[in-house]
Each structure stands twice: as structure tokens, then as C-alpha cells.
Amino acid sequence: MNRRNFLTTTSIIGASLAISGCNETDRQAIDYTKHPKKDSFVKKDVNVNKNKKVIINLATSWPAHFAIMGTGVDKFAARVKDISGGSLKIKIYPKNVLVPALAVFDAASAGQIDAFHSGPYYWKGKNSAFSLFSGIPFGLTAEEINSWMLYGGGLELWREQYAKYNLYPFLGGNTNIQMGGWFTNPINSLDDMKGLKMRIPGLGGEVFSKMGVNPILLPAGEIYTSLERGVIDATEWVGPALDIKMGFYKVAPYYYSGWHEPGSILELTFNIQSWNKLASEHQSMIEVASSEMNSNMTYEFHAKNIYALQELQSLNVKLSRFPQDVLDAGKKALIEVVDEESSKNDNFAKVYKSIKKHLDLSKQWDDVSLKYFLNER
Ligand code: CA
């Protein structure tokens, strides 16, 4: 047998061994060579006109050059300019410059801007299913949610849901696991949570609400003074890298590990007509640069969190874990929230079903691999 024949034979044996271990229906459900599938409403047939500079107006929900999220978008725009040879310019409008921070979805939907960078859970008032694309409490980690998005059908579901709003989303970063928040007093049992006024948005807020907490939404600039004056008793934010800049440790020193946002997705979303107007080369450049932004931002959060945690510990922050009865109540509350939303909204039920399937399978794999390793390391 020559080398070529040997390789062909062994790869066929290898492939059949791998296939025999799979559930046939699951295996057929996902054709990885065609992921993500091409959307019928997206056109990719226009060629670039090198003599014409194209400008994309992109609004964000962040202040100008905001750490990691804002600077990540800055780097994305610079990359697009570079690889397009200057023929494509992403013009960034930080929050409230062109449109208010939380009006970017509507502005892009109406075609007033071409694109935005933000987070899907801000739009749950339009459709509760949107909050699921950011992730769920006790749900998928950053790595797992990216795997669901790219290879588990998540991105198709997201694009299907956003198409109803004339929008076309891309993965635009991930905060990684977020911390459980800053508390003015220690939490020794579930009773200590009851009646607390806490700044916490999204599905996490709904879960905390069922546990007896009063979730409150506050603009970022008002959180610190609200904690200091006792208007609120606790707040979650993101993780060490961004939390340390907010100074919460000075007024609420009890810092808890989190489970309410295990891998929150950030989005780069286009108005569909603006996307379709782009030359196919420009579309490819954005696909490549946004994929880079997605991974860069995820790793930057991780790298900056590890140093910021060290700094917070030197500032005598009281790092702790929620007691078991809080975790038990959180898991129970999550089931109630999911059941209620699923019965009210078919879109929510459909997206949740897809996430749950990926989560259940992922848990089996991660329990014997990553979780085992992290516990032993
Ligand atoms: Ca958060």
C-alpha cells in the first residue's frame, strides 16, 4: 500500500469509528460544512468599486473608547479600514452622540444608522427571546455559547428572530463569566437577600426578583452614588476589569462569584438593507474582522480580569461565594422564569429549547473534561 492509499484507508476507518459513536439523528441535524447557512434575504453579489469610499455609520451603547467594549469596536474599525485598503470606513458614534445608548436597535431597524454594537438582552422588551441570545443564568459559558452560535444553530435562530426587525446580527464579543455583584452587607443565607434593592438587569434580574430581591435599573453613572447613599443595597456590573473602575469596592465591599451571566454575548448588528448594499468583498472583510473582534474581546476580558482581581484583593475586597440556599433558590427561580416566558412567547420557547439541548450535551462533555481538569488543577 502506498502512502496515499494508506492515509485514505485510515481516515475512512477513523471516520467510521467516529460516526458509529454518534446519535444518527443528531449527526445529520448539523452539517458543519454549511454553518452558518446562507440567509435567503442576504445578498452577496455586488463587487467593490475601488474608486468609491464606503462609509458605515455605527452607533454603540458605550461611551467613547470605553474599556474593552468601546476600544474593541475601535480596533474593529481600524482593522476594516486596513484590510479594505481604506475603501471601507466604519464611522463610530459612541452612546448619545447620534442616538441614545439604548435606542440603537430601533435606529438601525429603521435605517437611521447602518449598524450598532451593543448587547441582545437590552431588547428583551421587544421580544423576551432576545435576552436568551446574551445567555442565561446557570447556562452556557463564553466558549459554549460561541459553540452554540456557530455550530449548534444559535446564529441561525438569532438571525431569524432579528430579520423580523430588519436586522442582521454578528457575534461582537463576550464579557466572559460575570461576577455576582457587590453587596454592602454579607449574604449568609437566602434570608439576607430578601428585600434587598439591587441593580441587576436581564433574565438575571427576573430570577433575583423571584428570590425576593427588588431588581432596579439605573444608568451606569448613578450606581455608585446610589450604593453610597443607601438607595440600593447591591449591584452587579461585569467582572473585576470593569468593576474596579466603578469603585464599588469602596462602598459595597462584599464581592460574590456569579452565575447569572456566565458568558454574555455582545453584538455587531446591521440594518439588512445597509448590509445588502455592501460589496461582497466588504461583507467578507466585516465577517473576518468581526470574528476577530469577537475572540479578541473575549480574551481581553479574561486577561484584564485576572490582573484586576489581584488588585481588588490588595484593596481588601471580601471575596465570597453565595451560600447553597441562594444557589438552590436561583436554580428553582430560573425554571419558573423560563416556564412562564415559554408559555407566553413561542419564540422564547423555540430558542430556549435549542440552548437547553446544547447545554445538556455540553455539560456531559465538560464534566468529563474541563470541569474535571479545573477541579484538579
Ligand atoms: Ca452584568
Task: CATH number of the domain at 268, please.
Answer: 3.40.190.170
Distance 56 CA to ligand 1 centre (A): 29
Distance 206 CA to ligand 1 centre (A): 13
Q: How many CB atoms lie within 10 A of CB 299?
A: 12
* pLDDT score at 218: 86
pTM of the predicted model, to two decimals? 0.88
Same domain, 147 and 133: yes
Q: What are 190-231's pLDDT values in tens digits?
A: 999 999 999 998 899 999 999 999 999 887 889 999 999 999
Same domain, 212 and 170: no
In a domain, 86, yes or no: yes
Q: What is the dihedral of CA 258, 126, 199, 260, to 10 degrees?
A: -10
Same domain, 66 and 130: yes
Residues 6+ positions from 261 with CB-CB distance below 8 Å: 134, 135, 137, 175, 177, 178, 202, 204, 236
Structure confidence at residue 31 as a pLDDT band (50, 70, 90): low
In a domain, 369, yes or no: no
- Angle between the N-to-C axes of helices 202-210 and 324-344, in degrees from 0 to 180, rounded to the nearest 10: 110
Average pLDDT of the chain to the nearest whole number: 91
Nearest to 371 by CA among 363, 192, 355, 275: 363
Mean pLDDT computed over 26-31:
52
The number of distinct structural domains making up the chain is 2
Neighbours of ion ligand 1 (CB under 5 A): 178
Nearest to 252 by CA among 327, 176, 315, 329: 315
Mean pLDDT computed over 301-328:
97
Determine the structural domain holding residue 295 and report its residue range. Answer: 54-175+263-304
* pLDDT score at 14: 40
Cell numbers that stand for 72 in this block = 474593541
Same domain, 114 and 245: no
Cell numbers that stand for 90 in this block = 466604519
In a domain, 356, yes or no: no
**Over 90: is that where the pLDDT of 113 sits?**
yes
**Over 70: is that where the pLDDT of 161 sits?**
yes
Distance 165 CA to ligand 1 centre (A): 25
| Rg of the chain over all Cα atoms, to the nearest angstrom | 22
Residues 6+ positions from 307 with CB-CB distance below 8 Å: 241
- Distance between CA atoms of residues 285 and 264, nearest Å: 25
Distance 264 CA to ligand 1 centre (A): 8
Choose one of 304, 334, 362: the last residue of a domain. 304
Distance 207 CA to ligand 1 centre (A): 14
Q: What are 317-371's pLDDT values in tens digits?
A: 999 999 999 999 999 999 999 999 999 999 999 999 999 999 999 999 999 999 9
Same domain, 338 and 234: yes
Same domain, 185 and 76: no
In a domain, 232, yes or no: yes
Secondary structure class of 115 (helix, strand, coil): strand
Distance 274 CA to ligand 1 centre (A): 30
Distance 82 CA to ligand 1 centre (A): 33
* pLDDT score at 13: 40
- Distance between CA atoms of residues 153 and 241, nearest Å: 31
Same domain, 112 and 228: no
Q: What are 258-279's pLDDT values in tens digits?
A: 999 999 999 999 999 999 999 9
Distance 161 CA to ligand 1 centre (A): 23
Distance 238 CA to ligand 1 centre (A): 4
Mean pLDDT computed over 25-48:
62
Distance 204 CA to ligand 1 centre (A): 9
Residue with cell 466588504: 282
In a domain, 257, yes or no: yes
- List C-alpha distances in Å: 376 to 94, 106, 176: 44, 48, 22
- Angle between the N-to-C axes of helices 280-314 and 69-83, in degrees from 0 to 180, rounded to the nearest 10: 150
Same domain, 201 and 286: no
Distance 287 CA to ligand 1 centre (A): 27
Same domain, 86 and 193: no
Distance 189 CA to ligand 1 centre (A): 22
* pLDDT score at 38: 66
* pLDDT score at 35: 56
Distance 153 CA to ligand 1 centre (A): 25
Mean pLDDT computed over 129-138:
96
Task: CATH number of the domain at 203, please.
Answer: 3.40.190.10
Distance 323 CA to ligand 1 centre (A): 20
Query: In this structure, what DSSP letter does residue 192 have?
Result: G
In a domain, 127, yes or no: yes
In a domain, 5, yes or no: no
Does an H or E element contain 55, and which?
strand 54-60
Q: What is the DSSP string of 288-341?
A: HHHHHHHHHHHHHHHHHHHHHHHHHHHTT-EEE---HHHHHHHHHHHHHHHHHH
In a domain, 365, yes or no: no
Distance 261 CA to ligand 1 centre (A): 7
Same domain, 240 and 320: yes
Distance 124 CA to ligand 1 centre (A): 15
**Over 90: is that where the pLDDT of 376 sits?**
yes
Same domain, 235 and 341: yes
Same domain, 137 and 88: yes
Distance 208 CA to ligand 1 centre (A): 13
- Distance between CA atoms of residues 175 and 372, nearest Å: 24
Mean pLDDT computed over 128-143:
96
Distance 267 CA to ligand 1 centre (A): 15
